[in-house]
Amino acid sequence: MNTDLGAFTADGREYVITDPRTPRPWHNYLCNRTYLVNLTQHGTGASFWQPAGEGLRVNVTEDRDGSGGPRFVYLRDNDSGAFWSLTGAPRFEDFAEWECRVGLGYQVMRSVHHGIEASWRVFVPQSAERAELWTLTVANPGARPRRISVFPHLELHLTGGSTLMDFIAVLGGRYVPDCHAVFGINSCVKFPPDFKAYLASDRRPEAATVSRDAFLGHYRTYCNPLAVERGDVHNDQAGTEWLGASLRHDLTLAPGGQAVIHCAVGVMRDETEGRAAIGRLLAPGAPDAAFAELRAQTAARCGRLVVSTSDPRFDRWVNIWLKHQLRFVRHWGRVIGRGFRDILQDCFGHRLTDPAAARLSA
């Protein structure tokens, strides 16, 4: 499927979108058994934790209309004052370079704008962690030093999947400097303690926001958030208001230099659990090790039942993307439906591509 919008890589394991203005948002699903991220090609989308069989769902960020919930990475040139989002959304400026690599369980968005190259990798660790990991890489290919601020941001909605839980009166949060994190809390006493989430970084930020109003400014939108436009906003707590978690990192990039920032977004029962999860997920080398494990698992899955026909598109579908889709449906297509027919469909789908999964489904 090579089109004006993009093309598959030579090995067929990524689809590279090269036109950000697709006819509809291009959704990619990243997950483990209990945590799911639904991303568009612009990095916007939804994320939630939903343990199997418990009838419980915690929405970290909602996507209320399918166009993508508020999740952005902004950059600001601290010499000129120019600012932009790494993926272009929601202003959709013309970039010198732009692409989105849709992979098997991950997504990498990359752009070049105002002489700065930046990329944003998102994936979900293939473990029991109820979290996602972001890797932000910012490079200066130019001949002069650059002073750039980077703002990973997302709204923390902390609502429930099937229960009215978006009460602004019970939302609050705070910035915790010693773990470089914003903690968001839904404190409604009628619901389980898991309606809490965090945005954390592996390096100390220069500033943070917890309140959405503090990040955006009154009567503003994500096209011109005040915290990014000014570059000096710090807000360390919020209460009875919508939550907008952000972390500002100030970088000085020498010619040819680059900086890498790892972030974690996840669900927690309390601050103690959140601190422990952040420590595991963002330990030195941990994000790249988790990504390597994801790639190893997908490579092993693609290596089972390899077909070779006269149609390379059919081969790519069977050998790569069908297996990926079957795994996703087995984990997430059965959150509600788990009848006898559903079990047989899982067994039928996996009996050749993953016999061990078929036996577990039976």
Residue 177 DSSP class: G
Task: Output 288 or 335, whichever has higher pLDDT.
Answer: 288
What's residue 326's pLDDT? 87
Distance CA 64, CA 166 (A): 13
Q: Which CATH architecture is the domain 6-284 placed in? A: Distorted Sandwich (2.70)
Mean of pLDDT values over 329-341: 69
pTM value is 0.95
Distance CA 93, CA 41 (A): 15
CATH 2.70.98.40 intervals, the chain: 6-284
Query: Which tens digit of pLDDT belongs to each residue from 94-134?
Result: 999 999 999 999 999 999 999 999 999 999 999 999 999 99
What's residue 333's pLDDT? 73
Mean of pLDDT values over 295-308: 93
Mean of pLDDT values over 135-139: 98
Tokens of 299: 């490579």
Q: What DSSP letter does each residue of 296-308 carry, written as one string?
A: HHHHHHHTSS---
Answer whether residue 151 shows pLDDT above 90.
yes
Answer whether residue 235 shows pLDDT above 60.
yes
Task: Output 343 or 324, whichever has higher pLDDT.
Answer: 324
Answer whether residue 225 shows pLDDT above 60.
yes
Answer whether residue 162 shows pLDDT above 50.
no
Rg (CA), the chain: 21
Distance CA 340, CA 362 (A): 9
What's residue 327's pLDDT? 87
Answer whether residue 163 shows pLDDT above 50.
no
